[in-house]
Amino acid sequence: MRIAFISDIHSNIHAFEKVLEELEKENVDKIYCCGDIVGYNAFPSECIKLVKEKIDGSVMGNHDYATLTGETGWFNEYGVEGISYTRKVISDEDMNFLKSLKTHIYLNVDDLKIYITHGSPRDEIFEYVFPDSSDDFLLVLADIAKADVLVFGHTHLPMERRIKRKIFLNPGSVGQPRDGNPKASFLIFDTRSKEACFKRIEYDIDDAAKAIIDNGLPRFLAQRLYLGI
């Protein structure tokens, strides 16, 4: 089975639509999202609608959680403004969808146990698992998750690590990449060959950036899209 993993869409409908177009061409079997559907960008409702229509499952990210609860104490000013904008523009139905998100998903495919979360198995919404994490740390996480493949979001950095037959993946971010490459990021994992294929897709950053500014969100949130930071 070919499973697409996407993450950190962050209300960027322009990037999300392009990624879905590409996945249609790729003819993947399933699509899962590692959380942070909303926050930062201008189109939270539009992104929630597409997640409902096109995605087989999503977990809850810290921005989804903050939108639900209004708790933004740990965010910088840009995060806070993104959450208050999101809470203003989304519907009760959108809010109920965010409330329905679980903090992890397990899949059992081709004798592989796959664990999907936003943060880490120790702290599923908030803890970051960075690509340069130590082998020991990652193996502890695999032990907690009791899985062969662990898929994270949250860092906005693509990651592939293989340690003692455990596989650790992060698809990077659809809507706000932070690895210096502004193209939308995602990956396709083949459960038979166990290969992960990372993809980058161009989208209309001008339109996404203009919508951020037109809706009164911080200018930096528009600028960072061009830089991939």
Give me the residues that bind Fe ion (CB under 5 A), please: 8, 36
Q: Which DSSP helix (H) or strand (E) runs through 31?
A: strand 30-33
User: Residue 41 or residue 191: which is nearer to Fe ion going by CB?
Assistant: 41
What is the closest distance, in whole angstroms, from the C-beta atom of residue 195 to Fe ion in the complex? 26
Nearest residue to the partner Fe ion, using Cβ: 36
Nearest-approach distance from CB 61 to Fe ion, in angstroms:
6
Strand partners of residue 151: 116, 169
- Are 134 and 142 in contact by the 8 Å Cβ rule? The answer is no
Closest to Fe ion by CB, 176 vs 191, is: 176
Least CB distance to Fe ion at residue 158 (A):
14
Query: Residue type at 204?
Result: D
**Residue closer to Fe ion, measured from CB, 17 or 36:** 36
- The 3-state secondary structure of 106-147, one letter per residue: EEEECCEEEEEECCCCCCCCCCCCCCCCCHHHHHHHHHHHCC
Shorter beta-carbon distance to Fe ion: residue 8 or 81? 8
The H-assigned helical ranges of the chain are 13-26, 44-54, 62-69, 77-89, 92-100, 135-145, 205-214, 219-227
Least Å from the CB of residue 6 to Fe ion: 12
The residue (of 36 and 81) whose beta carbon lies closer to Fe ion is: 36
- Find the shortest distance in angstroms from Cβ 187 to Fe ion: 16
Ramachandran class of 155: left when φ > 0, alpha when ψ lies in -120 to 50, beta otherwise = alpha
